[in-house]
Amino acid sequence: MADSYIEIARNKKARFDYEIIETFEAGIVLAGSEVKSLRQKKASIQESYARIKDGEVYITGMNIAVYEMANRFNHEPVHDRKLLLHRHEIKRLIGKVQEKGLTLVPLKLYFKNGKVKVELGLAKGKARYDKRDSIKKRDVDRELQRDWKNYR
């Protein structure tokens, strides 16, 4: 059975600014109006990050636009949202995040089998020269693709 997968939002800068060491899939606790807004793909995870507080993981800075039809039962666009991970994953993350320079960055937000999921990356910040290497590699790959297309 194939998993149905619909992408909502992607953090494109995360892979440029950070070196992703490991990824985790987490569920997220949402209100009904938030889910309806996500079905319209009205969300941003560009400025968000995840943190561990009291043995639970929360995503901070994620913006889910207000759902027009929800009137007085609407949600707050930006607030901390709880992520759903297994206890052993959280314990492992606590150990990893306490290491120097590691952080939790959301990479993408998507629907999987009707449930909203967040792909979290355990990441280490890149230095300026690492970013230059990434740009150089991307330009070389683009040039190779262009040459290959012209060759055919």
User: Taking the model in full, what pTM does it have?
Assistant: 0.77
- How many angstroms separate the first and last alpha carbons of the chain? 37
**Residue 116 pLDDT:** 92
**Residue 132 pLDDT:** 82
Q: How does 36-69 read in b/e, with b if 16+ C-beta sit within 10 Å?
A: bbbeeebbbbeebbbebeeeebbbeebebeebee
pLDDT digits (tens, 9 = 90+) for 124-138: 887 776 778 788 888
Q: Which amino acid is residue 38, in one-letter code?
A: L
In CATH, the architecture of 5-126 is: Beta Barrel (2.40)
In sequence order, what DSSP letters do the residues of 75-94 get, joined into one string? --SB--EEEE--HHHHHHHH
> Domain limits of the chain?
5-126
For the chain, what is the mean pLDDT? Answer: 86
